[in-house]
Amino acid sequence: MHQAPDYLAIGHITIDRHPDGTEIPGGAALYSALLAARFGLRAAVLTRGRFDQIQDERVREALTQYASEIELIVQEADEPTVFTNRNVAGRREQTIHSWAGEIDLNGLPPMWRSSKIIHLAPVAQEIDIRRAGRLSPDFFGITPQGLMRDWRSEQGGKVSIVPLRLAYEFLGRIDAMVLNSEEQSLARDEIEVVGSRGLVAITRGAAGVQLIDRGQHSQLPAFNVNVKDDTGSGDVFSAALFIQRTEGVGVARAATVAAAAASVMIQSGGPDAVPSRKQVDAFLAEEQRKAQQRHNVW
């Protein structure tokens, strides 16, 4: 357990409750670590929650399966973090029913603090960024969505998005940051700082991805696929992007592979659909074949 993983995600593994009452495991840390494991890396998650009293047998079985793919350190809590996600007029509406509490970064084994890739993947204010100073990965990535969620001031736990507030000194250590278009306007300063020396990706669903690489802006179109469930797609995109960059892949190609990984997943949805590297390679090969066919027609 104490050997440093290749990919360490830090954040709550959640229970995601659908409007019909069915539940599945979720959370950015889970989705991203599964992608890393299925890309052939030794992946791990530091999380906090309580999963031993889950009533749904399918959820328990799924968590057992995922624990066979990734190493887990689960800090004890009174309850897990539970979300409900609903699509309302094309936008995701979230409610938090319970919260597992803050993750203690001091709970990491010393060698894990220098994992090759560390991905800060909060979903609900569970990481105190001021305590991240002892982390020293080769590559430091962040998906800050959970630092931009407020639910404690709302009745019934309804989630609202609040501005991102990260210290300049911390931002100077970040190699890559991924946000979505809804979060962009509330994180402009952070985007500017990270994008001036590192990589920022802003995902826009069917409109593609905006990339800011050391001050240079570019646009990547989305793949045309049927979307069943896009929950976790940004997390899968982020993990694939971070991995490709540490493997020395250029930004444009890395983002293309990341978009392909997300595209494969959203056609089925859920953690089981997080793809392997082989599946992503096959998807890209098929997309290239289709593009060549279109070219030949013209």
Distance CA 69, CA 298 (A): 46
Q: 139 near 199, Cβ under 8 Å?
A: no
Q: How many CB atoms lie within 10 A of CB 91?
A: 8
Q: Which of 24-28, 39-43, 60-64 has the lowest mean pLDDT?
A: 60-64
The domain of 96 spans 7-289
Query: Encoding tokens for residue 60?
Result: 């328990």
Q: Are 213 and 199 in contact (CB under 8 A)?
A: yes
Domain membership flag for residue 172: yes
The answer to whether the beta carbons of residues 94 and 159 sit under 8 Å apart is yes
Tokens representing 245 are 């960059």
User: Residue 59 falls within a domain, yes or no?
Assistant: yes
The model's pLDDT over 166-224, given as tens digits with 9 standing for 90+, comes to 999 999 999 999 999 999 999 999 999 999 999 999 999 999 999 999 999 999 999 99
Number of domains in the chain: 1
How far is 47 from 78, CA to CA, in rounded Å? Answer: 13
Q: Does the residue 157 lie in any domain?
A: yes
Task: Over range 112-118, report the average pLDDT.
Answer: 97
CATH number of the domain where residue 210 is located: 3.40.1190.20
In a domain, 61, yes or no: yes
Residue 1 within a domain:
no
CB 36 within 8 A of CB 45: no
Cβ partners under 8 Å of residue 45, min gap 6: 8, 9, 10, 11, 13, 29, 30, 33, 70, 71, 72, 73
| In a domain? residue 281 | yes
The runs of H, that is alpha helices, within the chain are: 28-38, 57-67, 168-171, 181-184, 188-197, 233-246, 251-266, 277-297
Mean of pLDDT values over 25-35: 98
pLDDT at 144 over 70: yes
pLDDT band for position 298 (cuts 50, 70, 90): low
User: What local confidence, expressed as pLDDT, does residue 86 receive?
Assistant: 81
One-letter amino acid at 160 equals: S
Domain contains 296: no
Angle formed by the axes of helices 28-38 and 233-246, nearest 10°: 50
Give the tokens for residue 103: 């993750």
Residue 297: pLDDT band by 50, 70, 90 thresholds?
Answer: low
The tokens describing 194, both together, are: 């990270």
Q: Which residue has the tokens 């920022």?
A: 200
The per-residue pLDDT for range 244-280, each reduced to its tens digit, is 999 999 999 999 999 999 999 999 999 999 999 999 9
Q: Is residue 265 part of a domain?
A: yes
